[in-house]
Structure 1
Amino acid sequence: MAHRHFSPSLLRLSSFLLIFVSLLAGCSGKEKAASSNPDAYKVGLVFDVGGRGDKSFNDSAYNGLELAKQKLGIDFDYIEPQGEGADREAALRQMAADPDVKLVIGVGLLFTEDITAIAKDFPDKKFACIDYNPQPGTEIPSNLSGIVFEEKKGSFLAGALAALESQTGTIGFIGGMDSNIIRKFESGYAAGARYMKPDIKIITNFIGMTGSAFNDPAKGKELALGQYSRGADIIYQAAGASGLGVIEAARETGKLVICTDMALEWPAPDQMLTSINKAIDKAVLTTIDDAMNGRFQGGRQRMFGLDGRYTDYVWNSDTEKLIDPAVHERIEKIRQDILDGNISVTE
């Protein structure tokens, strides 16, 4: 067999091209779920800052995709954010431009403006945005469903629980990005705590003013250690992946933490009093099912709240070890009073 000889410069060029193509593929951040059915309904999802593995918001959305794959037979792609999510718009457009994708989902309030504009540019595609948070007066396209939850009511339950379980009379709150949605967590928590104990002391901190605040565990831990040192024995964190730092601080100090969106993984069962969960996985599954079957609710915000336990606190074998049974009964009564209108918690 004849041997072919290549010049060193050509070999260098070939190596460079191979590396370039590999880098280009890696930077896209796009992953494809294996599917045995090429005709399956296809969903495209773009994660928020923190991406998969945050054990919180994004992981819950991914679990929703897996549920839809198991129950509805869908296929899906997803894109991880780069850096602080500056490529959010490009990632959404990439998904929308895929001719096979029928529904595009953006995970998080930071997608609101971009997904509203892109939905108008792709009127034949369906879009959904978790924690959709438009400016007042915004016209929501008919092909866009804004998924929202009753954060304030869920947080009211967290505050009531913290007040009843606190031994020091001081509790804390740590939010991720200082935004109106995270402020709902904070104000609901404070209202619930003061409903039970009007004189309770509440220490509040926010990690930052941009989306990166949801992906800074070191800052979360620093703030939590500061609150615990000032007498807080329970901290409620609504901080995405940054909340992992708050959990670590609770583990180190032996204090307690109330988390958000952590029903499926329990990284510190001895410190986690409960978690106030938005059932993002169930909301994603429901939205996909509706889109597939002619029930898609576009052109408005769609509430997933206490009714149906789409917004709820976790009660399981771990939390029942830490929460007094009488306290649990009291929290259930408060939850029902909110549903019945006997306690007013305005979102």
Structure 2
Amino acid sequence: MRSATALKTLAAGGAAAALALLSACGSPPTDKDAEGSGNTYGASDARFRACMVTDAGGVDDKSFNESGWNGVKAAVDANPEISGSYRQSNSTADYEPNLRASADDPDCGLVIGVGGLMADAVTTVAEENQDRRFAIVDSHVDLPNVYSMEFNAAQSSYLAGYLAAGTTKTGKVATWGGMQIPAVTIFMDGFAAGVAKYNEVHNTGTTVLGWDTQAQKGSFTGNFDDTSAGRSLTENFLAQGADVIHPVAGPVGLGGASAIKDAGNASMIWVDSDGYQAVPEYKQIILSSSMKDIASAIRVAIDNAFDDGAKDGRYVGTLSNEGVELAPFHEFDSSVPDTLRQELTQLRADIIAGTVAVSSPAAPKP
């Protein structure tokens, strides 16, 4: 399987830098044959169409749905023979009908389900349509016609937790999720483990609020669309003294961002994409982001299907193949000590080498 072209964070001379998250994907295509209108993108006479089904939250959720659509657009921009479309899911009840409608469309060469919650629906519809190609993000579906894309986000969030513990002034940090599913708790596990690693190295006692790794219990809004619930949870953690907060909730994280911005004494670590770019209205509070390069993974899946590659391929994004990464510090760059940067760089290398193990019950299985 070809590896995705993804982000890379480098530390040199004490300065952190990273490549942008396929930033061109958010702009109109430059190819004169590519067109974008509503839920379609690309030339109407393209011979291959990638048909994406979103999770709740919308294609402009500043998180995994938007990253997925960016991947579709990147594939279209690179190949005029490919076009893209998406069907919006407003609730879990829409998964199967949207997947089935895409599978029934003879123009769809690949049906992509975005989000681990869609695994059962993808399994059902893929079994019904064994002659069609499917793909899923954030889950592994063991069927001969499903291409699975997973991400070991515990690794990038481990770095995020270490960063949070190294920059907190109160000795309290927090993480919370949208729904308690593996694609969410994997970030929370990594974050808590990274804080624990910092405490071990520096003999400190930074506390993680919102998640108990041992018990696998914590704070969740129960959905990916209630920003008011995200704000309420964040306000609760701010009131308890947390000054670095890591929401793992897609667009619900925007509620947390608004609370942190209003408080004026805390920062946030975003997920999935580089929050500094994805939610620029909150860039002044984005310390960093625990990213997974969904866009590149989806582009590879589309290219694989277009080239008539393996139907049941599997991609697992890690620090090693740059499928997950810690984002730059942007406006916090001068606030992160050089020693902490150096430790993060070494820690990243150690995780890749296997000398530091990052585990999570939600991590992709071998």
- What TM-score does the superposition give when structure 2 sets the normalisation length? 0.80
Give the secondary-structure state (helix, strand or coil) at the position aligned to 2:178.
strand
Q: Which of 74, 79, 88 is equivalent to 1:72?
A: 79
| Aligned CA distance change for structure 1 residues 284 and 39 (closer, same or farther; 3 Å) | same
**Separation in structure 1 between the aligned mates of residue 187 and residue 358 of structure 2, nearest angstrom:** 12
How large is the RMSD of aligned CA atoms in angstroms?
A: 1.8
Contact 2:165 2:198 in 1 (8 A): yes
**Separation in structure 2 between the aligned mates of residue 107 and residue 223 of structure 1, nearest angstrom:** 26
- Identify the residue that residue 208 of structure 2 maps to in structure 1: 202
Contact 2:41 2:85 in 1 (8 A): no
Give the secondary-structure state (helix, strand or coil) at the position aligned to 1:182.
helix
Q: Which of 257, 269, 272 is equivalent to 1:261?
A: 272
Residue pairs, 1:173-184, within 5 angstroms: 173-184=175-186
Q: Which of 112, 118, 136 is equivalent to 2:119?
A: 112
**Separation in structure 2 between the aligned mates of residue 34 and residue 155 of structure 1, nearest angstrom:** 33
- Identify the residue that residue 10 of structure 1 maps to in structure 2: none
**Separation in structure 1 between the aligned mates of residue 270 and residue 185 of structure 2, nearest angstrom:** 15
Task: State yes or no: 1:328 paired with 2:341.
Answer: yes
Task: State yes or no: 1:127 paired with 2:134.
Answer: yes
**Separation in structure 2 between the aligned mates of residue 318 and residue 295 of structure 1, nearest angstrom:** 43
Q: Which of 145, 153, 157 is equivalent to 1:155?
A: 157
Tell me which of the two structures has the higher relative contact order, counting C-alpha pairs closer than 8 angstroms and 6 or more residues apart: 2
**Separation in structure 2 between the aligned mates of residue 311 and residue 65 of structure 1, nearest angstrom:** 19
- Identify the residue that residue 253 of structure 2 maps to in structure 1: 243
**Separation in structure 1 between the aligned mates of residue 260 and residue 88 of structure 2, nearest angstrom:** 29
- Identify the residue that residue 220 of structure 1 maps to in structure 2: 230
Deviation at 1:319, TM superposition (A): 4.6
Contact 1:177 1:206 in 2 (8 A): no
- Identify the residue that residue 40 of structure 1 maps to in structure 2: 47
- Identify the residue that residue 66 of structure 2 maps to in structure 1: 59
| Aligned CA distance change for structure 1 residues 96 and 342 (closer, same or farther; 3 Å) | same
**Separation in structure 1 between the aligned mates of residue 47 and residue 334 of structure 2, nearest angstrom:** 44
Deviation at 1:128, TM superposition (A): 0.5
Q: Deviations over 1:202-240 (max 9, x none)?
A: 11053334xxx1111111111101101111010011111
Amino acid at match of 2:283: P
Any stretches of 5+ residues in structure 1 without a counterpart?
A: 1-29, 135-139
Contact 1:31 1:78 in 2 (8 A): no
**Separation in structure 2 between the aligned mates of residue 307 and residue 246 of structure 1, nearest angstrom:** 31
Q: Which of 49, 57, 81 is equivalent to 2:89?
A: 81
Deviation at 1:267, TM superposition (A): 3.1
Deviation at 1:164, TM superposition (A): 0.6
**Separation in structure 1 between the aligned mates of residue 46 and residue 181 of structure 2, nearest angstrom:** 41
Contact 2:166 2:340 in 1 (8 A): yes
| Aligned CA distance change for structure 1 residues 316 and 256 (closer, same or farther; 3 Å) | closer
Give the secondary-structure state (helix, strand or coil) at the position aligned to 2:284.
coil
Any stretches of 5+ residues in structure 2 without a counterpart?
A: 1-36, 211-217
Deviation at 1:62, TM superposition (A): 0.9
Identity value in percent: 28
Q: Which of 283, 303, 309 is equivalent to 1:295?
A: 309
| Aligned CA distance change for structure 1 residues 337 and 34 (closer, same or farther; 3 Å) | closer
Contact 1:79 1:91 in 2 (8 A): yes
Deviation at 1:72, TM superposition (A): 2.1
**Separation in structure 2 between the aligned mates of residue 237 and residue 34 of structure 1, nearest angstrom:** 31
**Separation in structure 2 between the aligned mates of residue 292 and residue 69 of structure 1, nearest angstrom:** 11
**Separation in structure 1 between the aligned mates of residue 154 and residue 128 of structure 2, nearest angstrom:** 33
Amino acid at match of 2:163: L
**Structure index of larger Rg:** 1
| Aligned CA distance change for structure 1 residues 96 and 240 (closer, same or farther; 3 Å) | same
Deviation at 1:323, TM superposition (A): 2.8
Number of corresponding residues: 308
